[in-house]
Amino acid sequence: MNGGCVGLWAPSQVILPVARHLEGEAMRVAATLFGGAAIFLATSQIVVAAGPNAKFTVLGVGNSSCGSWLAVRRTQSSEAQFYETWVQGYITGYNRWNAIGINNIASGIDPEGIFASIDKYCIAHPLDDIEDGARDTLFDLLERLTQALERENQSNPILHPTPPQ
């Protein structure tokens, strides 16, 4: 059930040296283009790296079943807080170690939103591990970030000029 994520290539190794030589509008356009490419590469890397043969050890309550997540969450006890803290640590670990420099994959989402996403996953997959639900939530957050970047690019007049009438 467990997948893994490994950094295969860091776009920042290319982006940062190039970006240092750009100024003003060129910097903004380059940052937007490189940002879009970085999001694409990050999601592609995760899908490739998190294949069925990826092996790693899940520590803590992350290797407990989704059924236990749901049961504990219903109690709203200190044990539920322990499970929730594990999920926050999982996401913090992604923020720290992702290859593209996303400093907060959950920006704009409060913890309850993240927990609700895992609840939804666990209701559909009660025999899976909590880590599976946390990983699925990370994929959802990456998709959300990708869509936001696409919307930003669509509204950029330099990348998408209005044709003359």
C-alpha atoms less than 13 angstroms from C-alpha of 50 in its C-beta half-sphere: 17
Report the C-alpha gap between 92 and 96 in whole angstroms.
Answer: 6
Q: What is the pLDDT along the chain (165 residues), one digit of tens a residue?
A: 444 433 333 344 434 444 444 455 554 544 444 444 444 444 444 434 445 567 788 899 999 999 999 999 999 899 999 999 999 999 999 999 987 778 899 999 999 999 999 999 999 999 999 999 999 999 999 999 888 888 877 665 554 455 566
In a 3-state reduction of DSSP, which class is residue 65? strand
**Angle, helix 130-154 to helix 78-97, in steps of 10 degrees:** 50
The angle formed by the CA atoms of residues 142, 147 and 151, to the nearest 5 degrees, is 150
DSSP secondary structure code for residue 138 in this structure: H
Q: Does the pTM exceed 0.95?
A: no
- List residues bridging with 129 in a β-sheet: 65
What Cα–Cα distance (Å) separates residue 146 from each residue in 1, 39, 71?
A: 26, 6, 33
In the chain, what are the helix, strand and coil shares in percent, each to the nearest 5?
Answer: 65, 0, 35
Domain boundaries, the chain: 12-154
